[in-house]
Amino acid sequence: MQFGLSEEQILLRDNVNRFLDDNAPLDRVRAYADGGDDADIWAGLAELGVPALLVPEAQGGIGLAPLDAAIVAECLGAHVTPSPFLGTAIMAPTALVASGGQHDELLADIAAGTHRVGIAFGEAVKRRNDAHVEVRGERMFGKSLFAFDADADSYLVADQNRHLYLIAADDPGLKRVHLTTVDKSRRTVELTYDNVQATCISTDVAVFEATLDIGRVAIAADTLGAAQNMLDQAVEYAKQREQFNRPIGSFQAVKHMCAEMAAQLEPCRSMVWFAGHALAELPEEARITTCHTKAHLAEVAQFVAKTATEVHGGMGFTDLVGLHYWFKRCGANRQWLGAPEFVRHEAAVLQGLVSD
Amino acid sequence: MDLSFGPEYDAFREEVVSFLENNADKAPKSNDLRGQKAKDWQKLLIENGYTCRTIPKEFGGYGAEPDIIKSRIIAEEFSNARVNPGLGGQGISMLVPTLLEMGTQEQKEQFIRPTIMGDMLWCQGYSEPGAGSDLAALTTAAVLDGDEWVINGQKIWTSTAHIADWIFCLVRSEPDAPKHKGISFLLFDMKTPGIEVRPLVDMTGQANFNETFFTDVRVPKHQIVGERGQGWQVANAILGHERETLAPANTAQTRVNALIELMRSETADGARLIDNPVYRDRLMKIQSKVMAMRFNELRVLSARLNPGQDPGLSRMITKLEGTELRHDLEGLAIDIMGEIGLAYDDNPYLRGAGSWQRDYMYFLGLIIGGGTSQIQKNIISERGLGMPREPKFEKAS
């Protein structure tokens, strides 16, 4: 029995972290937030094999497991890294492989880091207002909100029936408009479909669910990384910052805030590990574990994001320190692919506590 | 990541399950520490290695090598079958491990066998009115007079003192030494003249705790564990372990399941409580936390089994998070029942035999006892996160 990361997984984590430390520090994130692109970051991650993680070896990938992907997601969250990771490296390969269809070329391009696949799942997860996706024949109509990312070459779109389609970003019927959010470390778009060519990937709801689940675990892992980083920054700051002739971290009012963050966050790490493991190895527990992990990480991260900012005092509120990048990353992750209340409802449905 | 224990352990689990199937009817239902049925059951469990498993045979135990997984399997299967897992109490859980670690051969021979067989019941004399979180500030005095210690002072929170045969007790034997180095660990008979026990009724209405007063209590010199002044190390040899096991996640899981059943059977305005979206969301939130704690415990277990693995803060946070979680969980059950949730004692509307209110209060006690939540936060921040200690407050002289 061994519940923890293997040596290979620790090596993977260390490699990705080292690359991000060197190539995507906060100043690089700021450059992206100011309107730059993430091409060099993604190219560097591609050299490390990140987009190839979940692509089978037969299609030019590495063929690793969801837990490995979650480990990388945690690194990206810790560095608030701009990248198309969630759609391109996680959800698209999962959908394409699970569909059983012939997608060798696309998978090879994804693995090489030369093709970015965005995701538009919001309308299948929890449709807001007049957003909707309809497919008639092979033509797509309607509108998706907050699709991710802004620079994708194609989009994996889920309609209200939870069927999956692939559309090209340069389709003449597609209008793509940037939607500004508080989270400047990633960009989302509104997609308007007016008679867009839609290639059906799968009408099997199980394929949609597998894709959604791994996306949720990756988001939870990203949240874990972001929240842990905020806690680490808060602890470091509290050790350095002095008031009343002593480090503020020696005051119980401050150190207890840090202890509460640590106490709530530490079980989250085990939860993300288990959820990643369950996706591949424990199919009966995978879905419900995923729901709870997505929701619980959102709640704990909300507490950590607020508390870590408070530990920094006035500096936490400034752009100078930049803590808000992590605060907003946690906030965006909370809403993406299902807000906690809705995801918990799904957990209740899965247990038969309530009908859908 | 490998969550299997392997075929050897699957076979062991089957053994435990079949033992339970064949013998569960012999188990006492209540936790009567004095009853013959409880003692007979204890004897049977020891003979089969299902309690006191690693205590050497020469002292009355089963004499097995320590095996964390087997211990866990035993605990899990007894819990699943809801069968009494054998005698508890502070003698078995705290004194016996302490003696095995720090006691003399004579002490081991004299005390371990009767303690584990249930013939010798112990209470723990640690806390004092002036020494709670700051336990090392204890002042109960022990002065050597010839071949005897003469003890004067008061202990508090002495569970089972009113029925205990013996006490293991921290006393100040070296008043001039620094506070952690002036303490000794003594063992003595509760029938010794000069001991008075007064029950301390707690908020649940029960009197498990006591105040215990010592007036010129004379104890033979050799009834000390470790050397003079070493009492603090002797007591701490096993204190940390106690904290981790106060609120295990598998019990919390059992309670969540019971809460779900409660929400399915109770109604308000004719609607099942489980169909109320507000209550259901609160239930799901608790379920998330219990799940997180279950996986946290897997990490704790794994770090024990694989010495190279970094447990992070997973062990350090279990007392704080586990006890707070149980208090919240029991409190949710009370909330959803409304006025029925207030029922207590002989109320005909009592649900779960009164366990929801009792555990709601009991776990508030555990949030405070065994190192308060605030002390836990000091430990987590100072030892876990490396934050600076509070400057010492110098007493004005």
Pick out chain A residues at pLDDT < 50.
Answer: none
Q: B183 in helix, strand or coil?
A: strand
Indicate which of B287, B298, B383 best probes the interface with A, i.e. most A CBs within 10 Å of its own CB: B287
Minimal Cα distance from B277: which residue of A?
A345
Q: Which are the catalytic amino acids of B?
A: 242
Minimal Cα distance from B379: which residue of A?
A259
Indicate which of A9, A231, A255 best probes the interface with B, i.e. most B CBs within 10 Å of its own CB: A255
Q: Does A348 touch chain B (CB under 8 A)?
A: yes
User: Would residue B378 be called left, alpha or beta, if left means φ above 0 and alpha means ψ between -120 and 50 degrees?
Assistant: alpha
| pLDDT, tens only, B329-369 | 999 999 999 999 999 999 999 999 999 999 999 999 999 99
Count of CA atoms in the C-beta half-sphere (13 A) of B29: 1
What letter would DSSP give residue B131? Answer: B
CA B188 to chain A, closest CA, distance in angstroms equals 39
CA B352 to chain A, closest CA, distance in angstroms equals 20
Q: Are strands B183-189 and B166-172 parallel, antiparallel or unpaired?
A: antiparallel
As a whole number of angstroms, the distance between CA A271 and CA A293 comes to 6
| pLDDT, tens only, B281-327 | 999 999 999 999 999 999 999 999 998 899 999 999 999 999 999 99
CA A179 to chain B, closest CA, distance in angstroms equals 31
Indicate which of A64, A270, A297 best probes the interface with B, i.e. most B CBs within 10 Å of its own CB: A270
Give phi and psi for B352, each to the nearest 5: 55, 35
Three-state secondary structure along A44-86?
Answer: HHHHCCHHHCCCCHHHCCCCCCHHHHHHHHHHHHHCCCCCCHH
Residues of B in contact with A247 (CB under 8 A): 388
Contact B1 A277 (CB under 8 A): yes
Per-residue pLDDT of chain B (397 residues; tens, 9 = 90+): 999 989 999 999 999 999 999 999 999 987 777 789 999 999 999 999 999 999 999 999 999 998 989 998 998 899 888 899 999 889 999 999 999 999 999 999 999 999 999 999 999 999 999 999 999 999 999 999 999 999 999 999 999 999 999 999 999 999 999 999 999 999 999 999 999 999 999 999 999 899 999 999 999 999 999 999 999 999 988 765 556 677 889 889 999 999 999 999 999 999 999 999 999 999 999 999 999 999 999 999 999 999 889 999 999 999 999 999 999 999 999 999 999 999 999 999 999 999 999 999 999 999 999 889 999 999 999 999 999 998 887 766 5
Residues of B in contact with A356 (CB under 8 A): none
Burial A148-183 (b: 16+ CB within 10 A, else e): bbbbbbbbbbbbeebbbbbbebebeebebeeeeeeb
Tokens representing B169?
């007790």
Identify the CA nearest to A276 among candidates A87, A56, A72, A81.
Answer: A72
Contact of B370 with B319, CB cutoff 8 Å: yes
Minimal Cα distance from B5: which residue of A?
A1
Residues of B in contact with A270 (CB under 8 A): 292, 295-296, 298-299, 314
Helix axes A252-281, B277-305, angle to 10 degrees: 90
Q: What is the pLDDT of residue B396?
A: 60
As a whole number of angstroms, the distance between CA B335 and CA B337 comes to 5
Q: What is the pLDDT of residue B243?
A: 61
CA A166 to chain B, closest CA, distance in angstroms equals 34
Contact B317 A246 (CB under 8 A): no
Contact B390 A251 (CB under 8 A): yes
Q: Does A67 touch chain B (CB under 8 A)?
A: yes
